[in-house]
Structures are given as C-alpha cells and as structure tokens.
Chains A and B, each alone.
Chain A
C-alpha cells in the first residue's frame, strides 16, 4: 500500500517543476555569492585608489627627508673643507673658524624612510589590487631596498667620535648652544638644519689653544678626509634615490590619469 501510495505521488508529481525549482535555488545561491564577490572587488578598486594616494604622500615625504638631509650634509661638507684647508696651512681660516669647523664637520642628520603604506599593501596582499604590472614593478623596485637603512646611508665615520673625544668640552658646549642643530619641520615630523655660519663670544686664547692642540693630532687629517668621503658617498646615493622616487611619482600620476 505504501509502495502504491509512493508510486501515485511520484506519478502525480510535476517533475519539470521540481527540476526548475532546483535550478532556481542553485542559480540563486551562486548569483548571490557572485554579486557579493563583485561588490568586494569594487570595494577593492576603491581601496587601491586610496592606497595609491597614500603611497604618493609617503614618497613625497621621502623626497622631503632626502632634500633636508642633502642640505644638511652640504653645510657639513663646507665646514669639513674649511677644517682641511686650515690643517693644510691655509691662513685665511682663523683659529676660531678652524675649531668651529672641526666640530661642525662631525655633525650628522640621519634620514628616515616612509614605508608604512607599502608595508600595509604588502602584508595584506593588496598589491594585487593594482592592475598595472609596470606600476607594480616600479613600486617593488623602489621599496626593494630601504634607502634609509642602507649601509652607506647609515655609516658614521669614526671622525665624530674622534673629534668629540678630543675637543675640550667647554668649546663643544659653546658651539652646540650657539650654532647647533635648529629643528625644522620635515615630512610631518622634525628634522634639522645647521647654521652655515657661526661666531662665538669666547676668548680668542681658548680658540688658539684648542686649534694648536688639534693641529698636533697626527690623525686629524686622516679622519677628516675619510669623513668627507663618507659624506660624499651618502649624498651621491641620496640624490639617486631621490631620482628614483621622482620617477615613481611620475609613474603613479600617469596611472591615475
């Protein structure tokens, strides 16, 4: 009887409708998920736009940092050359200027890079939201080496320790307080400039004594010359990194337009 019942039901059932219903459900679920995926993709594209804009700001900050470091190094180099001239017997450099220059030649102003957007893009895999392979390559190229952590960029010549250990503390204090770093705003944080000129109100005798003492140090010229070399290598590299940063900015602008 049950069997007959079942056969009757099976016979009476509209199988075309059953298939149609099944198809509708399968298709409905699939489309629902697909629409949600499309939506996600659209959000992703908007996100990519935002990230590119933030990347642009990071690179602009990098350029600001590099420019301020190069400007600082420029002043340091002038002081170094003045000190070398004095050591080599140039009499137009006074004892005071020699001592000041010898100290200022040891000043440093390390740069920093702005990699937060890149790091975010990377750790979340969002780099794939960018559609242009060329732009991706340029971004990867620029960030492959952190210029601010490069051995050449972070190197500090031993001259700094040398002169700051030798020079009487009173003189160092006076130079620092009168002509030390001036804090300036750089890339939403702070950097420094070094005054290009410096005059101190200390007694001449103190300077001539210090200058004589420095002239007697056999290693002073050696240390100073290496200091200039380290400084020059840094500037050369920073200038090149700035060029790469400029190129990346252009590539981003091309991509956006």
Chain B
C-alpha cells in the first residue's frame, strides 16, 4: 500500500506527500524497533526473576549441604570425645564403645556448593539483568569464595589414616556394616548421616585386644586431639558460610517480593 501510494505521489510530483511517506517509514521503523526493544526488556526482567529464583534454589541447596555436614560433624565430635575420655580413663567408657568411638571419630562427610546458576549468569552476562547494584554486590561477595574448596573445610586430619591403618580390618568392617553412613537425600543428590549410637555383635576377644592395642599407642591422644581441632575449625567456618547464605537469600527475597 505504501509502495503504491509512494509511486503514485512521485508520478504526480506531489513532493509533500512523498515527504510524509518517508516520514511514515522512518518513524514507523523506529517505533517498531522501539516496541520490540521494550518487549525484549520486559523479557529480560522476566529472565532476571527466573535467574533469581534459581539462585534462591541454589542457596537453599547450599544450606542443605552445609546443614548435613554440620549434623554429621556434631555426631563425629561426640564419638571423638568418647574416645578421648577412654584414652584419659575418664567417664568409664567400655572397650567396645572406645573402639567404636575411635573409628567413628575418623569419619568424614564433605560438603559441596551449588554454583551453577551463578556461573551461568557470569558467562552469559545475564548478571546485568539484575537492576539492584547492592544485590549484585552481595551476590558477587557470596560467590567470591567457593566454600566447598575452602582449605579449612576440606582439611582431613592425619587421624583418619592413623586409625584406619592401625585398627584390624575385621573390626573396621563390622563397625562400617553396623553403624556406617546412612545415605540420605540432600539438595537433590545424596549425603550421609552417621548413627549417633552404635553397638556391635562381636563376642570374641578382638574388642578388648584392640582397645588395649589402641591405648598402648602413644600417638593416639595426639592424633585424636588434632582431629577434634580440625573438626571444630570446620564447624566454625561452615556456620559462617551458612549465615552468609541465609543473608543472601533474605536479600533476594526482599528484592523480589
């Protein structure tokens, strides 16, 4: 229609009308693109809210992973304290509970972080879809350090190697079988829980023999104590990271009511 009317106007040399036609096309294309841009911006805002929702889900998974680790470490610490008591001849600990405590004190769980959405936002530049500078700042700060790669959190005390080298395999197997890790669902994958109490069905002499052997090892108390120190440092750091994660989650919730 435009083309036909333009050629008609040119033939008639109605230059005013030609000028108006030009204006229509220029202005029309401009407005058309502008509308499409607005549309895109709207989609971007929607995309930002999708990403923030996923970031929230990642944070919840981080929290689940951290809490599973904290719960696990709390149980390990109790076993470790029982073994320390036994080595120090305090609070009357039976040989069986001593041996179990000594083994369970070497259990580790490990934690993992959920950084997928953040990594994606970074590599695609979508982080700029978030309009709040302060929220962006908080997100960058939280993800600046991967807590799962933090050296305090990853550290494994030498006690693990020590006790698992010293203790007869048959007893290790029995403890693992009766009171080893119980697999639980954590953050859409799996984690573990350690049973808080443990009793073995071993009536033979191997338990008191093993207990006596462990008591005779001069490095036993040294290794155990350092194990507890490593565990405590981990717990301290895990709690701080958990606090940061909760703070960021609140900030996101506030940003998108």
Contact = CB atoms under 8 A, between A and B. Distances in A.
A113 B123 CA distance: 22
Contact of A125 (B113, B120, B167): B120
Contact of B169 (A6, A81, A243): A81
Contacts of B247: none
Interface string B160-204: 010011111100100010001101000111100000000000000
A24 B35 CA distance: 14
A125 B17 CA distance: 49
B208 interface: no
B16 A9 contact: yes
A212 interface: no
A124 B126 CA distance: 11
Contacts of A138: 188
B251 interface: no
Contacts of A9: 14, 16-17
Interface residues of A, number: 53
Interface size class of B (residues with CB under 8 A): 35 or more
Contacts of A25: 2, 24-25, 27-29, 32
Contacts, number: 138
Report whether over half of chain A's contact residues are helix, strand or loop; otherwise say mixed. helix
A29 B28 contact: yes
B47 interface: yes
Given A9-B17, A21-B1, A33-B33, A144 B114 contact: yes
B47 A128 contact: yes
A88 to B, nearest CB: 8
Contacts of A205: none
B116 A122 contact: yes
B28 A26 contact: yes
Interface string A90-125: 000000000000000000000000000000001111
A230 B172 CA distance: 12
A213 interface: no
A127 interface: yes
B96 interface: no
B212 interface: no
Contacts of B120: 122-123, 125, 127
Interface of A: 6, 9-10, 13, 17-18, 21-22, 24-30, 32-34, 81, 84, 122-125, 127-128, 136-138, 140-145, 150-152, 157-158, 222-223, 225-226, 228-230, 232, 236, 240-241, 243-244
Given A13-B17, A28-B32, A125-B126, 5 more contacts: A18-B24, A21-B28, A81-B169, A122-B116, A158-B161
Q: Which 4 A-B pairs have the closest CB atoms?
A: A29-B32, A141-B188, A25-B28, A222-B165
17 contacts: A13-B20, A21-B1, A21-B28, A25-B2, A25-B25, A25-B27, A29-B28, A29-B31, A29-B32, A125-B126, A127-B120, A137-B57, A140-B58, A140-B188, A141-B187, A144-B61, A222-B165
